[in-house]
């Protein structure tokens, strides 16, 4: 199919709206966001230090030897990290807000490697220096609290491996989720049982209060995430009211709230969507909300069928019930206080959060310039072409399509988005604008390097990670 639009759109006539100041005022204050983040980081550090402080404040057990005590210390730390993981993945908005949920999930992944490394350190020291204390391996004859420790270690190693290599292991996302939750709960319960069974640090009232507090806090979180929140979702269902083909294999589902609409969401945020199933089912997926809050209360999710559950999802009939858990994420123009303009670079379906941000700027008649570079394998893969083209009349939007495989007569950009292409299209002043990137991982990595080489400070480069697992 031949392109029917000019691939490099000229700057649209800048609307000179009276609401420019108002749209900037919506931006989250960086001071508040950073203070909030610092408070959470401090609270996390205190939570990790708490077991040591409590253990050392009570009656101290006799030293088992320096390496022994050090190993026990690593074990406490690993357990603290494991407990923290439940909070990180509990989709607590007050916790994810300052960082963005995608980064909290990335932190969860990094932290899981650290936790497993500490657990292996804890076990390794005993294995090398105190093998006798480990006793028998056979669970029928071994001390139960040491079997619990081995089970816990196995669960946590399996957790990290199954997450890191999910696709290579051929695990479907929803199956992986069941396995992940089962392994996490088993591993954590076994670890706490191990500590209580060994019983070296459970004698004083403070120590008992600590372990009781950890267990109760963990249970409360589990009840909130798996029972209370789905129940609230059931009381506030949504309904699919429209289904649109956006081209490029992307389908938009428009949802109308039958209960409470989504509150306080920002353009570019995402939500977990569950369609046609109970809110208690684990079959839900994170999707960007592709419309802007100004166009609410209906929400649109633009989904590309990628051969898994999304194939069914894009065929959802109008009238189907749905449940929405959100909003999450920080990939938003509203997080870019003081920006004089925006550079947005999308690869394929990575256009959806960028589209949401553009919708918001359009609704607010924002006068700031936006350069959008939109890369696709070919012209037919480029979703929302007409919509983006139309936006140029309301926004100072420069739209640059980049195709891997261009049709005959194509006069626009082809190949990869590299330093030379960026240099051709980004004005010098754009180095101080936020650069918002969304696309496949390798593309983002290459873009980050190219932008940094081109003199864009790292603090101006933001990207959305949408491959959470």
Partner 1 sequence: MRPTLALTLTLLATLLIVALSVWMTFSLDLI
Q: Which residue ranges make up the site for partner 1 (CB under 8 A)? A: 41, 44-45, 48-49, 52, 55-56, 60-64, 66, 69-70, 72-74, 76-78, 80-81, 99-100, 103, 106-107, 110-111, 113-114, 117-118, 330, 458-459, 461-462, 465
Which of 44/187 has CB closer to partner 1? 44
Identify the bridge partners of residue 397 per DSSP, sorted by sequence position.
370
Q: Is the peptide bond before 297 cis (omega within 30 degrees of 0)?
A: yes
Cβ of residue 70: shortest distance to partner 1, in angstroms?
4
Rounded CA-CA distance 256/320 in Å is 11
Cβ of residue 150: shortest distance to partner 1, in angstroms?
21
Cβ of residue 45: shortest distance to partner 1, in angstroms?
6
Cβ of residue 284: shortest distance to partner 1, in angstroms?
23
Q: Which letter, b or e, does each residue of 337-354 get, where b requires 16 or more Cβ atoms within 10 Å of its Cβ?
A: bebebbbbbbbbbbbbbb
Cβ of residue 125: shortest distance to partner 1, in angstroms?
10
Which of 76/323 has CB closer to partner 1? 76
Are 111 and 81 in contact, with CB atoms under 8 Å apart? yes
Task: Count Cα atoms within 13 angstroms, Cβ side, for 259.
Answer: 12
Which of 107/173 has CB closer to partner 1? 107
Distance linking the first and last C-alpha atoms of the chain: 35
* Residue 314 three-state SS: coil
Q: Which helix (H) or strand (E) holds 103?
A: helix 101-129
Which of 106/142 has CB closer to partner 1? 106
Rounded CA-CA distance 378/390 in Å is 20
Rounded CA-CA distance 23/18 in Å is 10
Cβ of residue 100: shortest distance to partner 1, in angstroms?
6
Which of 322/443 has CB closer to partner 1? 443
Which of 82/421 has CB closer to partner 1? 82
Rounded CA-CA distance 8/354 in Å is 18
Are 462 and 331 in contact, with CB atoms under 8 Å apart? yes
Identify the bridge partners of residue 286 per DSSP, sorted by sequence position.
272
Are 65 and 125 in contact, with CB atoms under 8 Å apart? no
Q: What is the phi/psi pair of residue 287, to 5°?
A: -135, 145
Which of 13/449 has CB closer to partner 1? 449
Q: Pseudo-torsion of CA 294, 295, 298, 303, nearest 10°?
A: -100
Cβ of residue 168: shortest distance to partner 1, in angstroms?
22
Q: What is the DSSP letter of 15?
A: P
Which of 99/287 has CB closer to partner 1? 99
Cβ of residue 77: shortest distance to partner 1, in angstroms?
3
Are 433 and 340 in contact, with CB atoms under 8 Å apart? yes
Are 91 and 225 in contact, with CB atoms under 8 Å apart? yes
* Residue 188 three-state SS: helix
Which of 79/184 has CB closer to partner 1? 79
Are 12 and 396 in contact, with CB atoms under 8 Å apart? yes
Overall size of the chain counted in residues: 469
Which of 304/460 has CB closer to partner 1? 460
Sheet holding 342-347, edge to edge: 413-414, 397-405, 370-378, 342-347, 435-438, 461-463
Which of 49/220 has CB closer to partner 1? 49
Cβ of residue 402: shortest distance to partner 1, in angstroms?
24
Q: Which helix (H) or strand (E) holds 184?
A: helix 173-198
Q: Which residues contact 126 (CB under 8 A, 6 or more apart)?
A: 68, 71, 133, 134
Cβ of residue 65: shortest distance to partner 1, in angstroms?
9
Cβ of residue 99: shortest distance to partner 1, in angstroms?
7
Which of 60/93 has CB closer to partner 1? 60
* Count of C-beta atoms within a 10 Å radius of residue 26: 15
Cβ of residue 106: shortest distance to partner 1, in angstroms?
5
């Amino acid at each position: 199919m031949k392109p029917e639009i000019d691939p490099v759109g000229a700057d649209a006539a800048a609307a000179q709206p009276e609401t420019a100041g108002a749209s900037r005022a919506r931006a989250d204050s960086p001071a508040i966001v950073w203070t909030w983040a610092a408070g959470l980081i401090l609270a996390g550090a205190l939570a990790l230090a708490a077991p040591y402080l409590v253990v050392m404040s009570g009656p101290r057990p006799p030293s088992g030897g320096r390496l022994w005590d050090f190993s026990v210390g690593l074990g406490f730390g690993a357990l603290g990290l494991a407990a923290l993981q439940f909070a990180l993945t509990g989709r607590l908005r007050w916790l994810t807000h300052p960082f963005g949920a995608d980064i909290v999930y990335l932190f969860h992944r990094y932290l899981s490697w650290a936790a497993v490394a500490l657990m292996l350190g804890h076990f390794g020291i005993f294995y090398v220096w105190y093998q006798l204390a480990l006793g028998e391996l056979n669970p029928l004859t071994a001390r139960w609290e040491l079997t619990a420790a081995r089970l816990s270690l196995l669960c946590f190693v399996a957790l990290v491996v199954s997450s890191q290599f999910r696709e290579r292991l051929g695990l479907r996302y929803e199956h992986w989720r069941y396995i992940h939750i089962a392994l996490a709960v088993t591993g954590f319960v076994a670890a706490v049982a191990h500590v209580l069974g060994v019983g070296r640090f459970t004698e004083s009232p403070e120590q008992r209060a600590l372990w009781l507090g950890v267990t109760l806090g963990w249970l409360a979180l589990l009840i909130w995430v798996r029972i209370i929140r789905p129940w609230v979702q059931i009381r506030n269902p949504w309904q699919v009211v429209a289904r649109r083909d956006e081209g490029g294999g992307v389908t938009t589902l428009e949802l109308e709230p039958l209960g409470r609409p989504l509150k306080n969401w920002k353009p570019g945020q995402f939500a977990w969507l569950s369609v046609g199933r109970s809110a208690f089912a684990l079959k839900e997926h994170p999707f960007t909300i592709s419309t802007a809050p100004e166009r609410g209360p209906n929400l649109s999710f633009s989904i590309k069928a990628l051969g898994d559950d999304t194939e069914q999802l894009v065929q959802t009939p109008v009238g189907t019930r749905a449940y929405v858990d959100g909003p999450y994420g920080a990939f938003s123009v509203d997080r870019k206080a003081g920006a004089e303009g925006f550079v947005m670079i999308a690869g394929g379906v990575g256009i959806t959060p960028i589209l949401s941000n553009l919708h918001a700027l359009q609704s607010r008649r924002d006068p700031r310039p936006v350069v959008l570079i939109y890369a696709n394998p070919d012209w037919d893969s480029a979703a929302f072409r007409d919509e983006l083209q139309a936006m140029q009349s309301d926004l100072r939007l420069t739209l640059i399509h980049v195709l891997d495989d261009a049709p005959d007569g194509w006069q626009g950009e082809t190949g990869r988005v590299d330093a030379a292409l960026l240099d051709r299209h980004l004005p010098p002043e754009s180095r101080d604008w936020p650069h918002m990137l969304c696309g496949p991982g390798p593309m983002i990595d290459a873009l980050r390097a190219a932008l940094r080489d081109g003199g864009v400070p790292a603090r101006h480069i933001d990207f959305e990670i949408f491959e959470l697992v």
